[in-house]
Amino acid sequence: MSVAEILFIVAGLLLGLAFHGGMLLFLIPFAIVAFVLAWLNRPRLAGGPNSQNPTSNIPIISIGPRSTNTNPVVSPDLISEFRNDHDRANEPEAAFKVSQVWARANADINRAMTDMLCALKVIVPGVNTAIVFTQQNNPREWGVRNYVNDKEMSVNPSTRLSESGSLLSQMFRSGVSRILEGDLPSSKVLSFYLDNPPVKSVVAVPMLDHSGNRVGILVLDSTAPNAFTDKTAQALVYIAKAISMLDYKGFYSAQKHIALQQYAGLYNYQRKFFQTMTVKDIYKQIINYVKANVAYDRLTILAMNKVNESAGRVVYCDGIESSQFSEKRFTLSDKGIFVLAMMRNRPVERSFTPGYNEYVPRLSDNEKRNLNLRQLFVMPVATETDAATADMAICLESSSSRPYSEHEKELLKAFAGVAGFAYDRARKFEHGRDLAMRDGLTGLINHRTLHESLRSEKVRADRKKYNIGVLMMDIDHFKRVNDTYGHPIGDVVIKSIADTVSSEMRKDIDVVARYGGEEFVVGMVETTAEGMMEKAERIRKAVEMLAIDVHQTKPLKVSVSIGAFLVTPDFHDMKKAVNNADQALYRAKEGGRNRVVRYELDEESMAPKA
């Protein structure tokens, strides 16, 4: 059985398997190659045009060094969608996984392409080098993608073909469908060789993408004159199509695999969103996702105030000069590009050319200017898709010369939709919890939450062996205020005193509650008897200094009476501790009001403490 018959059988088997569909469709280009090689190797009549090139003598070939260029033949833009510049402050973990996928895909395609070129060199007699050129970073320039040849190190892998300067440059012209030379003069040297082999024959055909654009060429050469015919050139057209399909399908599969991985990651974050119920955790998930998937030199997360809908703050900033933005406040009237994106609820993208001098403010005009950040992309996050104003914004900046890719922007857009829903859910949950836990007038925790907080704090105090100071205070003559000025003014008084007391305490450390009516309770964490009494006296004096506007000739002056009790590590009943402070408050009222009295466990009588 001849070589041609074997190849025809192989082509038929491959096509038969391919017709089963699914992943086996990938066998189609190999079937085409087998069929073309069988046709080239078919038995010839004696005295035919190719009888001088018998196929019985198969040459020994060696594979030259291959280019490691990872750009696909058909769609060189595919890999750029997943690029990683390796020059940004944040290098996301996903970028390294993407690089591994591309490297693996490129290695597989190179192996298959090498096999195809080796087959060409074996089947077509007299071939010195079979070489593939594909697009490089510049679409008007082609470089060596892969080759096989007889001579080690004869081909220069760094060769670049441009629109002028060599025989092969003719293939850049749309009107040139092939190059077929059979008697090259000795002065005509092919540009991709390091030495000067006596090449006499060359055949080349263009490689086309799925839109018919020229993205490379397939070339064969030989030292024998008139080594190739029209039929050889026609066969190469089919081989070029098969190589193009191989390259395109390989990189398309890699792209699909990467996209599936990234959207699977998005799904995992969606699950995390629904496992958390706090706004702070939503911020953390957004930060973690962006860090894992997108490169940046500065990342800024903005959020609107849930009370004042026209104001907001920076909840997170990482990267270059991040300290100037951390916790910074802004309003929708500020002139900044981040604010503009939130106000319009639309993504904003800007690219700044090197050497530009006119800085575009991010939040306001008075911020520090950095002209090295040349790429900017802002993805607003809204709780409703048709909202006029966004609730959050993910702001990315980079010093790279290349903008963020469409794929990266689409990923952020999909993520923003999920994040907006989760953010709205968390805010509503916290709002409902606040309604149950906090007093609506003052914003302080209520009576029930106070006891839960004091019990939790007592557990920590017992573990670390520190005291807790409990203060109970009551507004003096508050009934008289309500009777004289009315309940609306009474509410103003309560709110003013609540703010005054809160301002004297340590935020997120001490406990401040509205106990009921005109009574307030404070839990002072890690204090002494002296520190507790000093703090109580400071609160009393701060309230005494208040001048509350009641729309009268003179402002309203009020005072408070305070009872204090120190909870030591050997005292465990926090409810009893509040009652003890209440008893001390009663003594302060009896003693003339506007004073502080401490409850002493070892004394039957208590005296006012100035």
Instruction: Give me the catalytic one of 518, 519, 590, 603.
Output: 518
What is the pLDDT at residue 27? 60
What is the pLDDT at residue 1? 55
What is the pLDDT at residue 437? 83
Backbone conformation region of residue 222, classed left if phi is above 0, alpha if psi is from -120 to 50, else beta: beta
Backbone conformation region of residue 279, classed left if phi is above 0, alpha if psi is from -120 to 50, else beta: alpha
Q: How far is CA 590 from CA 334, 558, 563, in A?
A: 55, 17, 12
Residues 349-407 pLDDT 10s: 999 887 777 889 999 888 888 888 989 999 999 988 788 899 999 999 999 888 888 87
What is the pLDDT at residue 97? 62
Tokens representing residue 113 in the block: 């392409």
Residue 512, strand partner residues: 522
Indicate the pairing of strand 596-598 with strand 560-567: parallel
Secondary structure E strands in 341-475: 348-351, 375-381, 392-398, 467-475
What is the pLDDT at residue 25? 54
- Give dist(CA 184, CA 480) in Å, integer: 114
Secondary structure of 315-343 as H, E, C letters: EEEEECCHHHCCCCEEECCCCCHHHHHHH
Residues 398-450 pLDDT 10s: 998 888 888 788 888 888 888 888 888 888 877 777 777 888 899 899 988 89
State yes or no: is 518 an active-site residue. Answer: yes
- Low pLDDT (below 70) residues in the chain: 1-99, 151-153, 187, 258, 261-263, 265-266, 270, 273-276, 307, 602-610
Ordered DSSP codes for 472-540: EEEETTHHHHHHHH-HHHHHHHHHHHHHHHHHHSPTTTSEEEEEETTEEEEEEEEE-HHHHHHHHHHHH
What is the pLDDT at residue 70? 33
Tokens representing residue 558 in the block: 């009020």
- Closest by CA to 116, choosing from 136, 127, 130, is 130
What is the pLDDT at residue 463? 92
Backbone conformation region of residue 184, classed left if phi is above 0, alpha if psi is from -120 to 50, else beta: beta
